[in-house]
Every structure is written in structure tokens, then in C-alpha cells.
Structure 1
Amino acid sequence: MADLVLGPVLRHIGDTDATIWVETSEPCTVHVLGSSEHTWTVAGHHYALVTVRDLESGSVTPYEVDLDGRAVWPPVGVASPLIRTAGDDPEAFVLAFGSCRVASESAEPTAVLGKDALVAYAQRMRSLPVDEWPDALLLLGDQVYADELSEEMKRRVGERHDLSEPPGAQVRDFEEYTWLYSRSWSEDNVRWLLSNVPTSMIFDDHDVHDDWNTSYSWRREMEASAWWEERIVGALASYWIYQHLGNLSPAELDEDPLYDRVRNCAGDAEPILRAFASGADEEADGSPGVRWSYRRDFGPVRLLVIDSRCGRVLAPDRRDMVSDPEFDWIEEQADGDYDHLLIGTSLPWLLPRTMHDLEAWDEKLASGARGDRWARWAEKLRRAADLEHWAAFRDSFERLARLFLDVAAGRRAGTSGRAPATICVLSGDVHHAYAARVRFATPTAGTVYQLTCSPLHNHVPAAVRVAFRAAWGRKAERVVRLLLGPVTAVPEASFSWSKMAGPSFGNQIATLRTRGRVAHLTIERSVDTASGPHLFETVTDLPLTTEERPPEIPTSRAASRPSR
């Protein structure tokens, strides 16, 4: 008799359809609201992604999960989870987002990590009316930590491997990744949250390994190790199952040849996914890649999530955050009419200017601007200080800037000829939260922001807090440029940006609210001693638009060609 191992996780929501992901203990048929899906098997684990169709637009529908006709979810005494299609006010949209979550077995604060912000968010949601819930949740990387294990996970991994051998106390393969996801998604409040709020996801480095794909030489070193092949195959195969599939719409799933092969495999589909994962990892070496990036539309809000890890191109003579074909696709998705463009990327596009300058300078030095000796030193610095954000991929950084300029100026607008009110880059990774605003050389109708919120649940050392606070200061910027300049000139950015809020530290979650062309950002920090409705303190409360309708852009600008 099959049992529910993990889930249900509500993933994609459309006007009249939804997808719900589950893991089960053995093969079975999963039933949700009259829709059914037989499980498929990978490495002895059993999964299904059920597509529920023919829902009523603007409806709130309770659902249950049955396995072979036996009800298994919700548990006794727990209300049925809900599927909420586009509501009565399609112009209103609420998105919660965050990143970097170390999972705990308990909802209680821990001495080192404090109160889990995602757990606290779920606890507060349970006391709120449904119409005050967020419409969607975006998890921006480090959903699991493959290289930083809890004591319990170390014990389990140690029963299978000698932890004194490389890579030490880290997961090795697909099986151990399934343990990580189980730990991350099993806590009662988080499980309830994921069953009720449609969730989108993208990976970051710790989902695979710290500094994943930071440079060409890093890849060569990893590939030379005896343990890396199993690690990367397990990481990408499990990511495809647990995170990526749910990012796709039912229409995209219907057209996905890999999903079709796995779903209809008569036996265990592990060999199919192993071959896929191994090939996906080779994109950084110039092979045809897998597009992990995706797009979702929520009424007049467009969410475009960019893979800034696996899709990198790393070669001795080339270094790109995103390959040219994928960047072409990203630019195409920015065309059209919408009120707000949300760009999800686990790594911030904009950092404190001091850090940006250091990363851009280090990339230049590592590429050989001052010879091999300096290049080797710069590579060591890059790894030691995690200098691997968009700033460290200058060509990609500037190409993204040109895209945002075109969008903000209305040059990619559809028939309306009107730019979106905001372009918001949503990121995590850096273990603090802040908001920054872009200023291009010429005014634009739309406003571009960097909105960063991290971590959901992790430790931020005091020294890191001091460094980030200082990094936002103009004095630090001048001093760093003065120190770096004599070695090699710091590359200049084509635009400027300034901090609007932050930096704030602690376990945090952000909420972006839009209504028509109005947008508002709230960042809240979990309070370790709080209970009941007082689980957070607000650290940022920032209007992103000053009026409902920004000025119309001139027709001539709207009709001009996008820059490249």
C-alpha cells in the first residue's frame, strides 16, 4: 500500500489549471480533483506531477490527494489545501520571495540560526484569511545545502561513505539528495505552505557545491576529482525532479521530450536522467545546453527567472553568465505588454558598488590583464571571497543592463507602446537584504530596481555584517578604487545605482505587492522569541512607484529598435 513520502507541493497555477507534485513510497496512481497520474520511478523513488485541468477561473478550490483511491492528504484535523486560480482582481498580485534556507526539524528557533523565516511566514499565514495569502512564492536558490550538512545528515552519509575521504561531510549522489529534499520540505508548517501557495524555484551554488561554476579552472579541478561525477549527476537529476518540473506550465510539460520519456518509462528511469544530467553539466564547456530559465505570467506581471549557475559558459578565452542562445531567449521573453517585469536570478545583478568594483577588477585581472602571476592570484581571490556575481561577468552584466534600458524605455513594448512601471531584479545569495535603484544616462519611463532578500534561515557572521554595511558607503568605494587602480583600472559600469533601503540582516523574507502599475516592497525579519501573530519585525517598507501611471513614452522611442 502506497504512502505519501513528500508533498503535496502546489507548483504551477494558470487561469484554469494547476500542477501538484508528490513523492510516494511505491508505484501507484495519484488522484487529485478528478485528475490522475501514475507515478514514475527514478533510482527506486516514485514521483508524480498531477495536472489538474478545467478549474474555474477566479476560483478557490479545496483539494485532497488519493493514492490508489485511498485518501492520504490532508492529515486528520488539518484543513484541505487550496488551489486559487486568478482572482476577482487580476491586477493585484502578491509575491513572497527569499533564498538560502538551512532546514531544521523543529519550528522552534535554534541557538545558532534563529527563527526560520519561511516557517514563521507559514505560521502567520495559517492565522490569516485566504484573501491575505500571497499569490505565489519564489525560492531563489540554496533550497538545500549539499556541502553543509546537519549532524543527523552527517551521520546518515557516514553510514554509506568514509567521511575522511573527499569530499568529506557532504552528499555524494542522488540518493543522498533525496534525503536533503525530504528534510527541507517535511517540517509541518513548510509542508502546509507548499501545499497551498504555488511555488517557483531556481538553484544556486549550495544546491550543488559552494562556488559552483565560478571559473574555468574550478571546473577543471572538480572534473579531475573522483567524486564529482556522481555529485553533479545527483544534483541535476534531483533538481529536475524536485524543483525544475514544477516551474513548467502544463503546456510546456506536454511538449517536453525528457518528461515524456521519464513519465512513460516502463522501468526505472534513472539511466535516462543520469545521461541528461551529465549532458546538462557540459553547457559550461560550450556544449548545447539545457534551458533551466523559465517564464511565468501572473496577469499584468511577468516573472522571468534566469539560471545564473548551470548555464554559464567558462572557457580559457570566454566567460559568460548565460550562453548566447539562452540570452537571446531571455530577451525575447521581455517583449510585450505588462505592468511589471520581475527578473528572478539567485545572484544579485547589483551589489554594493565597492563589491561590484572589486569583482569587475578581479575578473579583469584573472583574465590576464597583468600577466599569469597576477591572474593566478586573482583566481585565488575570486574563490576565497566569492567574487562570482554578475559583476564578475562583465559582458553579461552589461548585456542585461542594455535589455533593462530597452524595456524601461518602452522599446520592447507591444501594441500599447508603453514601458512597464517597474523592472525588479529579485535575488538572494548574499545573506543580507537591500533595495537599490538604477539611474541610466537618459531618463526612462520605467524604473529598474535590485531587490535582494537573504537568508530565509542561515547564520550571518558579525564580520560579514560589518563588511556589507561598510561596502555601501561612498568612502569605502573611493578607498577601494584608490587601492585597486594602480594594479589595473577598475572597469566602469554604463550606468549608476544607489541604495534605497538596507542593508538588513537576520532571517528575512520579502513581499512584493503590485496593483495595476503601483508596486510596494516589504522585507520582514523573523523574531526569535515571537509567537502568534507577532512573528516578524518590518525592516523595509518601500514604495517602488510614486504615482499610478508614469508618463507615456514618446511614440518615436517606443518604435525604435532594441539595442544589443
Structure 2
Amino acid sequence: MARLRLGPLLRYVDGARATVWVEADRPCTAEVRCADGTRGTARTFQVAGHHYALVPVEGLRPGTDTAYEVALDDRPVWPLPDSPFPASTIRTPGGDGTDGGDGGDGGDTAALRVTFGSCRWAAPPAKTSHLHDLGHRGDKGAGRDTGKEHDPVGPDALDTLAARIAADPAAPRPDVLLLLGDQVYADEVSQATRRWLAARRDLSEPPGDQVADYEEYTHLYYESWLDPEVRWLLSTVPSCMIFDDHDVIDDWNTSASWLAEMRATPWWRERILSGLMSYWVYQHLGNLPPEELARDEVYAAVRATPDGTDALRAHAATADADPTTARWSYRRDFGRVRLLMVDTRAARVLDEDKRAMLDPGEAAWLREQALEGGCDHLLIGTSLPWLLPHLIHDAEGWNAALCRGERGARWARFGEDLRRRADLEHWAAFPTSFDALAALIADAGSVADAPATVCVLSGDVHHAYVAEPTWPGGGGPDARVLQLTCSPVHNSIPASIRVGFRFGWSRVGRALGRRFARHGRLPRAAVNWRRTGGPWFGNHLMTLTLRGRSAELRLDRARAEKGGGERLETVERTTLTP
């Protein structure tokens, strides 16, 4: 009898189709049964002893909200028995790309709500109310410890979002959830996971208390996605995901010398291959529209054999050896809202003389998608912020110049050490790529039928803010351009770093940054910018509400209440366009 091990996750949704991801404990046929009679089935595929299915559901009606259940080998397994949550549903947009409703925010035009954030450290195992229903707690680490553990980083914003939606299912909710990196922390595990690792192997051997192989990666996803509130939330709100460094390891692909050192260690190859394999299974597959899945040669190869491990491992090995052979970036269209989710980790060019955030093929793909036109709003999802506090931007450009040898070999060695210690690896650390993105945004915002907004959505830096660029000489786009940064969903930032970020935005910080720029002989950046919101600290989610050519931004913070419990509190709400 097959059992549901993880999921369901509602991933792709359009007006007539959806995909639902599940993991079972053995080979079986997974079926999604909708209340309107629509059904979809898929046979599981196997990777490293685990069994997964991405179930396509077709024939849905636009502008509807239909409950669904999941069955394995014809036996219902979702919703869980005695679940306190409302039924999981598939909400399809209307035929015009809207949500099919009245907007829900007081307007008379339907809206698209895009909620995003990044950096979610797995919550301590305090909530175990439904894990017994899995029937296999402890098997391969699927269950979470029953011991209660203090949460050192405060309420989880995804938990509080789930509670808000569950309390009033008819109220406005996100139409899509964008998770912009660090969905799991392979190098910073919880105490419960550390105990599980110690029972499995000797932690005195590298990589110590970090994950080492595919099996250990699966444990991270179990710990993160079996959280009852998050599990239900991901079953009923469609999601798009992209990795960042902690999904593999801190500072992943910081520089050529970093990569050479990692490849010389005896444990790195298994770590990177397992990281890419697990990302492909748990995150990447669900990002793709059904027509792209149908053309995906790796997906076909994995499903064509009783055990797809070798096929997927070969793909990961090829992608690691030559990043141009795999594209993790993708495009999603939500009516007249276009999302371009950009890989800023695996697609890097690390040669100091040719250093770039995106390899030429990736950059060409991004440019083609952005300049196509025909959208009211263009969203560029990149885990790493494009516009940073001015001091940090100039320090990263200065550091890149040092590492490139602008001040000689001694300064280059100092620069490489500083780059790793201070995580100086955002768009500003790739000056040519920074300017190229500025030029692309200017072009995309100036084409015929240009969008009303171009928003760069980012995370990573463990605080939230809004920044707005201007182009010297008035050569900027017609669209309003904004950097929207929201991080973390569930993590923390030391008080000293908070002070540093605030200082980085200040006039004094900006003046100090210009001194760094002069020492590094840096040309002026292609754009100027100013902070127009924040910085805000805490566990947050940002929501863009897009209605026609208008846009509104809301920032919600997860707060613990004095009498117990947690809630989302709106700390900022602003109109971006009329």
C-alpha cells in the first residue's frame, strides 16, 4: 500500500491546466481528483530509492476554485485524516489572465497577487500534530523530532501566511508564491537534523554537520515541507522557485579560485551532484509549463527507466562541468504579467578577465524574453539584489577590481580573501553584468507596448527594502523601475549587520563608498538610485497586487503575539502606479 511521503505541492497553474507534485514511499500511480470531476494521473519515477510524480491536470475551467484530493493506487491519501485546514484547491485565472474575481482589495478590476520572499531556515520541530498520519515517521528521516525546540529566529512568515488564508479561505490570497532562494540550508542545519546526521555517519569527517549526499538532501526537504502549515499552504497556492547558495553551500560559485578549492576536496563532487539532482526533483520540475516538460529530454530519460538515478546524475555531472548545458532560468506568463526567473548561481562566468553573472547564452535568453513586449508588468526574479546600499555596491565593485588585479597581485590576494569573508558576490561584484542588466531594463521599459513597471524581485540580504533607479541624462525607460527586496522568510540577522545596512544607505556611507570606487578606479555605474522604502528587519513577505497597468506593494511581517500565537502584520503599503 503506497503512502504519501511529501506533498502535494501545487506548482504550475494556468486557465485550464495545473501540475501537482508528490512523493510516495514506493512505486505507484498518483492521481489528482478535482471536485468538478477533472482528473489527472501519473506513474511515479524513481531517483535514489525515492518515488516522485508530477501529475498533470487538464480540462480545468478558467476563473474557478475547485477542491482536490490525491490518491495513490486508487487509495485517497490527501487531505490527511482530521486535518484542521480547509480543502486544498486549484484556483485557475480567468480567461483574460486575471483571477476571475472582483479583485478582493476593494477595486472592481480583477487582480493578480504575487507574494515573494527568500531565505527560509527550517522551523524547529515544534509542530508535529499531523506527522503521525504519514505512517512512517523516522523512515529515512521523513518525520520530525517530537521534542520541542526553541525557535531562535522568530515566527515563520509562511506559517503565518498559511494561518491567515486558512482562517478566511474566501479572503484575498496570493495567486502565486515566488520563493527566491535558500529554500533549504545544506550548510546550516537544525539541531534535529544534526542529530539525525550523527546517527547516520561520523560528523568528525568532512563535510561534518552539513549534508553530504542525496539522501541527506531529502531530509532537508522533509524537515522544511512537512511543517503542517507550510505543507497545506504549498498544496493550495501555486509556487515558483529558484536556488541560491545555501541550497548547495554558502558562497556557491563565488570565484574561480573558490571553485577550484572546492573541487579539490574529496566530498565536494557528491555534494554538488546531489544538490543539483535534488533541486531538479524538488524544485525545478514544478517550475516548468506542461509543454516544456513534454520537450524536456532529462525528464523523459528519468521516466523511461525503472530507476532514473543514473540519467539524472549524468545530467547533474554535465551541468556541473559545463553550466551552459543546463538552463535553470525560466519564464512564466500570468496573463499580461511576465515573470523571468533568473539563475544567478550556476550560470556564472568565473574567469576574472571575463567575469559575468550570466554566461552569454543565459544573457541572450534573458534579453530575448524581456524585449518581447506584450506585458503590462515585467518581473525579473533574481535571488541576489541588483541595487544594494550604495556603500556595499561600491565595496563590491572595488573588491572585483582588486581581484581582477587592478592594484597588483598583493591586493588581488587580499581581495579574494575579503570577497569570501564578506560575501561580496552580488550583481555589483560583476560590474559588466550590473550595467548590462541596467541597459536591458531600460530597453525593456522603452519598447512599443512597454510595461507600466519593471520590478526586480530579490532576497538574500536578510532585510527588506525598495530602491528606485534613475538613468543619467534622462535616458531611462518609460516604465517605472523598482528593486524590491524581501528577505528573510524565516531567519535572522545580527544587530551589527543591521547597523551596517543602515549605514550603507546613509550619506556618510555613500561618501565612503565613493572612496572605495576611486581606489579601485571604477567607472560610474550605469544608473543612480535611491532607497524609497525600508530598511525593514524581521521575517517578511512582500506582495505585489497587479491590476491592469496599476501596481500596489504590501509588506507583511510575522509577529509573535503577547498572549501566544503568531500573525502577519502589514508594515508598509504603497501604490507604485496610478
Question: Do both proteins adopt the same fold according to a TM-score greater than 0.5, normalized to the shorter chain?
Answer: yes
Match of 1:391 among 416, 428, 432: 428
The equivalent residue for 1:478 is 511
| Per-residue deviation, 1:77 | 3.4
Superposition pairs for residues 397-546 of structure 1, below 5 Å? 397-410=434-447, 417-441=448-472, 442=474, 443-482=476-515, 485=518, 487-529=519-561, 535-545=567-577
The equivalent residue for 1:53 is 58
| Per-residue deviation, 1:532 | 9.4
Taking the aligned partners of 2:470 and 2:251, their CA distance within structure 1 comes to 30
Structure 1: gaps spanning 5 or more residues = 411-416, 548-564
Taking the aligned partners of 2:456 and 2:161, their CA distance within structure 1 comes to 22
- For 1:53, the aligned partner's letter is E
The equivalent residue for 1:106 is 126
- For 1:338, the aligned partner's letter is C
Taking the aligned partners of 1:274 and 1:542, their CA distance within structure 2 comes to 46
| Per-residue deviation, 1:418 | 2.2
The equivalent residue for 1:274 is 313
Query: Are the aligned partners of 1:9 and 1:22 in contact in 2 as well (CA < 8 Å)?
Result: yes
- For 2:496, the aligned partner's letter is A
Taking the aligned partners of 2:160 and 2:499, their CA distance within structure 1 comes to 26
Superposition pairs for residues 248-259 of structure 1, below 5 Å? 248-259=288-299
Taking the aligned partners of 1:533 and 1:125, their CA distance within structure 2 comes to 15
The equivalent residue for 2:100 is 88
Q: Helix, strand or coil for the counterpart of 1:499?
A: strand
| Per-residue deviation, 1:110 | 4.1
Q: Helix, strand or coil for the counterpart of 2:194?
A: helix
The equivalent residue for 1:554 is none
Taking the aligned partners of 2:421 and 2:217, their CA distance within structure 1 comes to 26
- For 2:17, the aligned partner's letter is D
Query: Are the aligned partners of 2:395 and 2:516 in contact in 1 as well (CA < 8 Å)?
Result: no
| Per-residue deviation, 1:484 | 5.5
The equivalent residue for 1:180 is 220
| 1:437-496 Cα deviation digits (max 9, x unpaired) | 1111325320110000000111211111110011101111102323563x3323320111
Taking the aligned partners of 1:109 and 1:426, their CA distance within structure 2 comes to 33
Superposition pairs for residues 329-344 of structure 1, below 5 Å? 329-334=365-370, 335-344=372-381
The equivalent residue for 2:346 is 310
Q: Helix, strand or coil for the counterpart of 1:271?
A: helix
- For 2:161, the aligned partner's letter is Y
- For 2:90, the aligned partner's letter is I
- For 1:52, the aligned partner's letter is V
Superposition pairs for residues 128-277 of structure 1, below 5 Å? 128-265=168-305, 267-277=306-316
Inter-CA distance 518–158: structure 2 relative to 1 (3 Å threshold):
same
What TM-score results when the alignment is normalised by the length of structure 1? 0.92
Taking the aligned partners of 1:530 and 1:194, their CA distance within structure 2 comes to 28
Query: Are the aligned partners of 2:394 and 2:516 in contact in 1 as well (CA < 8 Å)?
Result: no
| 1:196-246 Cα deviation digits (max 9, x unpaired) | 000000000000000000000000000000000000010000000000000
Q: Helix, strand or coil for the counterpart of 1:527?
A: strand
Q: Helix, strand or coil for the counterpart of 1:379?
A: helix
Q: Helix, strand or coil for the counterpart of 1:63?
A: strand
Inter-CA distance 305–477: structure 2 relative to 1 (3 Å threshold):
same
| 1:411-459 Cα deviation digits (max 9, x unpaired) | xxxxxx2211100000000000000011113253201100000001112
Q: Helix, strand or coil for the counterpart of 1:130?
A: coil
Query: Are the aligned partners of 2:31 and 2:70 in contact in 1 as well (CA < 8 Å)?
Result: yes
Taking the aligned partners of 1:53 and 1:537, their CA distance within structure 2 comes to 37
Instruction: Report the aligned-residue RMSD.
Output: 1.6
How many percent of aligned residue pairs carry the same amino acid? 52
Structure 2: gaps spanning 5 or more residues = 34-38, 94-98, 102-108, 128-147
The count of corresponding residues between Structure 1 and Structure 2 is 535
Q: Helix, strand or coil for the counterpart of 1:521?
A: strand
| Per-residue deviation, 1:526 | 0.8
Taking the aligned partners of 2:333 and 2:228, their CA distance within structure 1 comes to 30
Taking the aligned partners of 1:315 and 1:14, their CA distance within structure 2 comes to 41
Query: Are the aligned partners of 2:555 and 2:573 in contact in 1 as well (CA < 8 Å)?
Result: yes
Taking the aligned partners of 1:534 and 1:324, their CA distance within structure 2 comes to 46
The equivalent residue for 2:15 is 15
Taking the aligned partners of 2:115 and 2:263, their CA distance within structure 1 comes to 37
Taking the aligned partners of 1:129 and 1:180, their CA distance within structure 2 comes to 29
Inter-CA distance 188–534: structure 2 relative to 1 (3 Å threshold):
closer
What TM-score results when the alignment is normalised by the length of structure 2? 0.90
Q: Helix, strand or coil for the counterpart of 2:167?
A: coil
Query: Are the aligned partners of 2:165 and 2:171 in contact in 1 as well (CA < 8 Å)?
Result: no
| Per-residue deviation, 1:355 | 0.5
Range that drifts further, 85-94 or 496-505: 85-94
Query: Are the aligned partners of 2:488 and 2:540 in contact in 1 as well (CA < 8 Å)?
Result: yes
| 1:333-383 Cα deviation digits (max 9, x unpaired) | 111211100110000011011100000111011001011111010000100
Inter-CA distance 123–215: structure 2 relative to 1 (3 Å threshold):
same
